[in-house]
Amino acid sequence: MRTARLAGVWAGACALAACSSFAPIEAEHERRLAVEWATRLYELEPLAYHPVEEGQPLFVASTATPAGGLVVVPSKDRKVRGIEAATGRVVWEVATRGPNAARPVDLGPYGAPEELLVASFDGRVYRMNQRNGRILWMSEHPGTSGISASPVVSGKVGDKDAKVFVTSLDNRITALSLETGKKIWDHQRQQMTELTVSGQGGAAVVGGLVIAGFSDGALVAFSQEDGVTAWSADLAGEDKQFVDIDTTPVAARVKDGTIVVAGSFSRGLFAISAESGTVVWTKKGEGFLSAAADDGMIYAPQANGALWAIEAETGRVRWISRFDTGFCGTPVVSRKYVFAPVGEGLAVVDRGSGREVVRWSDGRGVRATPELAYGSLFVVGNGGLAYGLGVY
């Protein structure tokens, strides 16, 4: 087991009008995280200068998992592993045909409590058993390119109309049968001829719609049944370069219905009515990444190292926290804290003020979104290790 390095750091949080400075972090904050276990996933290549691991773990608990639950870990070594959440013991390991990064999907809420979905850069979706990782079906290539974002599910296992929606790097959204993995419909938009930023966000299911963004700056809502376009919102405006929507739309309930929040790389962050496709509010800025939504708040990271806390209803900015690493990825949120991967480590940010109270690192850093469950934080580090951290 590797010893955690808990370092107090100075952090700034910006309000709408101006930035404020905070005093150094006090000793009472020095033990917010403690390493409970560390498991080696793979060895780094020789002379690895700046390794990056983007595999996002998932916690599941069912009759098929150990008593304390299972952490399902995708990784770039073309493996998916089931790790005992309490001890870090590898329970099973399954090979895919490509690297893996997307967060798996627990099928328990959809009527299959002992199963899960995994999407891979090999362009396939795998339906697996949680007990041993056995592959129940493997989809045909939904597109001609890899899958970097988590699938979304609509319906229940046993329902003939239940579907899995997946986006791929060839600017395509595909609907698969949840029962068989066979393709039902797909929609591909032409890639931009002007400069774009390589990447692909996922999709969001809202009512009878599935909503996804594309490289031309279009956020599009499709009918889940047949893929017919319900509405399309042009987030690019008059711009032609770097307008890609590389973020996964995140849904949030507001007084007048539901909004979805997504970012165009060069144009900023947009809240769009899920019912009509009209713009509700916007925030200017470059490089917004996929956000997290919780209890009426949107927590939106920027690739330049900023994290915004925004009221979903009004678009009012509560705070902005800026990190000295020049990167911030999609966070997870607890009652007290926002846990954000910041490249060189994992930042623990006070949810009310935006003040960074602790930064944790194993020396190689963290870029992947962690998983939070029952007082534990599960993290996949850039050095090829998975960690179980106690949150105190």
Give domain status of residue 372, yes or no.
no
| Residues recorded for the chain | 392
Q: Token match 């623990």: residue?
A: 348
- Are residue 9 and residue 70 in the same domain, yes or no? no
Q: How many domains does the chain have?
A: 3
Res 239: pLDDT: 67
Do residues 211 and 233 make contact, with C-beta atoms less than 8 angstroms apart?
no
* Chosen domain end from 126, 154, 184: 184
Q: CATH code at 158?
A: 2.40.128.630
State the number of CA atoms in the 13 A half-sphere of 241 facing the CB.
1
- Are residue 223 and residue 332 in the same domain, yes or no? no
Give domain status of residue 389, yes or no.
no
The pTM of the full predicted model, rounded to 2 decimals, is 0.89
- Are residue 157 and residue 228 in the same domain, yes or no? no
Give domain status of residue 216, yes or no.
yes
Q: Is 136 exposed, middle or buried (0-12, 13-18, 19+ CB in 10 A)?
A: middle
Res 27: pLDDT: 43
**Domain assignment of residue 347, given as a range:** 1-31+295-367
Give domain status of residue 3, yes or no.
yes
The pLDDT averaged over each successive group of 10 residues in the chain (392 residues) is 31 32 40 90 88 97 97 98 98 97 98 97 96 96 80 96 95 95 93 54 97 94 98 85 90 96 94 97 95 98 97 98 96 97 97 96 96 97 97 86
- Are residue 207 and residue 304 in the same domain, yes or no? no
> Which residue type is seen at 238?
E
Instruction: Count other Cβ atoms within 10 Å, centred on residue 196.
Output: 20
Give domain status of residue 41, yes or no.
no
